Amino acid sequence: MSFERDGVTMAEREIAIRVKDVRKIYKLYDKPKDRMKEAFGFGRKQTHQLHYALNGVSLDIFKGETVGIIGTNGSGKSTILKIITGVLTPTEGEVAVDGRISALLELGAGFNMEYSGIENVYLNGTMMGFSEKEIEERLPDILAFADIGGYVKQPVKTYSSGMFVRLAFAVAINIDPEILIVDEALSVGDVFFQAKCYHKFEEFKRMGKTIVFVSHDLSSISKYCDRVFLLNQGTLLGEGSPKEMIDAYKRVLVGQYELPDRQEHRDLLDDRELRTAAGREASEGKNPELLEYGNGQAEIVEYYLTDDRNVRTTAVIKGSKFTIHMRVRIREDIPAPIFAFSIKNVQGTEITGTNTMIEKSFLEAVPAGQTKEVSFTQRMTLQGGEYLLSLGVTGYSGDDFEVYHRLYDVMNITVVSDKDTVGYYDMESAVTVRDAEEQP
């Protein structure tokens, strides 16, 4: 896959971080005494199992790029960051870094719990290669960003997790890094501090610095990243735009993570058929290259939008009512199917959505062979612009979550508006302005 940014292809850009065929292997033992026996050569029987935290991962991160790494817990995200920063050594493979790294890994990394906040600032700065004078010059900015008051003179072992991350992030961003690496730590801070940190991300992007961060906050991944890597069980499943990888990640969550080979499907059609089919779908506002998956127990066979006059459309006037329709064929008995929709912006951030379970509108078993007509009616309060609609049929088999059929980005919705407020949607505020009464 070839990526381009600002008219420059990735191949023409300088590499900040290169990871090549990296493996990190741990020996797992059932009992502590087995580890001891093997260490001293007692017994011939192998008592350990090999666990591949990373298994042959290769990736390039370019200078000035903001990159996200996503995946489920245990996928190897933190491990690869620790290898990049030198906290861990790979079992096999090579890592090359071009630039001064500042890293904010898990809480406690790089801090001495017995030292005060200020002492830890000097400790971290010294480890980064700065002189005492250089650290002293940066100290006011660090303390101002951390904003923890007199606690900066107390041992960090007395800090709350929020105070700790404020100081750690303040140090990380104010020692002039060329590469900033952040591992999920921002989720600890309060919402105001998180906003402050993401504002700093935007400032770093404008300065051309390289940012790598791991987060379960998919909205932040979508908003800030140029490119995303998807890991699962130590293996790199794919890389691409935030939207592509977030959609693939959702498939990982339900165990259906084979990435589609769209080119293979395209080869089944000749060019004329492909152009005709794509043109027909596009004229209806439908996406000819939608992403779909599921176990096949149910199938969404039709979908469309109607406006407040019950006319089929893909354009909705802001403030008016509209309805999302889908027709679902049930192929096997399902205890209680959940019908759902969500709406994203064009960057892939989910703006809103709901389902029949949340709305408590349908909680019945459906036998094989039935077809259900499902409709969601609501008022359009999104700002004017282009949006993407996704649909799904899911449910539970015992305690296991099942995806019967999902269609991502099936069609576009154009919101027509003559008044847009700030953000994603209109709060429909009632505004009153009147003369104030004079106080005696």
Kindly give the confidence (pLDDT) of every residue in the chain, 440 residues in length, as a single tens digit, with 9 standing for 90 and above. Answer: 444 545 555 556 799 999 999 999 988 777 676 666 666 666 666 666 788 999 999 999 999 999 999 998 889 999 999 999 888 999 999 999 999 888 887 655 678 888 999 998 998 888 777 888 888 898 999 999 888 888 899 998 898 888 888 888 888 888 888 999 988 766 666 777 777 888 888 888 889 999 998 988 787 888 889 999 999 999 999 999 988 888 888 888 877 665 444 333 333 233 434 344 444 454 567 777 778 899 999 999 999 999 998 999 998 989 999 999 999 999 999 999 999 999 998 878 889 999 999 999 998 999 999 999 999 999 999 999 899 999 999 999 888 899 999 999 999 999 988 888 888 999 999 999 999 887 66
Residue 116 has what DSSP assignment? B
Which residues on neighbouring strands pair with residue 24, listed in sequence order?
Answer: 54
Q: Where in the sequence of the chain do the CATH 2.70.50.60 domains occur?
A: 290-416
Task: Return the percent helix, strand and coil in the chain, to nearest 5.
Answer: 30, 35, 35
Query: Three-state SS across 184-228?
Result: CHHHHCCHHHHHHHHHHHHHHHHCCCEEEEECCCHHHHHHHCCEE
The tokens describing 1, both together, are: 């896959």
Q: SS3 for 12?
A: helix
What architecture (CATH level 2) is domain 4-253? 3-Layer(aba) Sandwich (3.40)
Q: Are 337 and 328 in contact (CB under 8 A)?
A: yes
- Identify which of 349, 62, 15, 66 has the alpha carbon closest to the alpha carbon of residue 214: 66
**pLDDT at residue 266 in the model:** 31
Beta strands at 66-70 and 48-62: parallel, antiparallel or unpaired:
unpaired
What is the reported pTM?
A: 0.73
Q: Are 83 and 89 in contact (CB under 8 A)?
A: yes
**pLDDT at residue 254 in the model:** 75
Q: Are 77 and 71 in contact (CB under 8 A)?
A: yes
Q: How far is CA 4 from CA 226, 302, 346, in A?
A: 10, 36, 18
**Cα–Cα distance, 128 to 142 (Å, whole number):** 15
**pLDDT at residue 229 in the model:** 96
**pLDDT at residue 107 in the model:** 59
The CATH number of 290-416, from 1.20.1290.10, 3.40.720.10, 1.10.1060.10, 2.70.50.60, is 2.70.50.60
**pLDDT at residue 279 in the model:** 47
Residue 366 has what DSSP assignment? B
Q: Where in the sequence of the chain do the CATH 3.40.50.300 domains occur?
A: 4-253
- Identify which of 251, 206, 245, 270 has the alpha carbon closest to the alpha carbon of residue 407: 251
Q: For Cα atoms 372, 373, 376, give the angle at the middle one, nearest 5 degrees.
A: 130
**pLDDT at residue 288 in the model:** 73
- Identify which of 142, 160, 141, 140 has the alpha carbon closest to the alpha carbon of residue 151: 160
For 308-363, list the strands marked E by DSSP. 315-317, 321-330, 338-345, 350-355
**pLDDT at residue 276 in the model:** 42
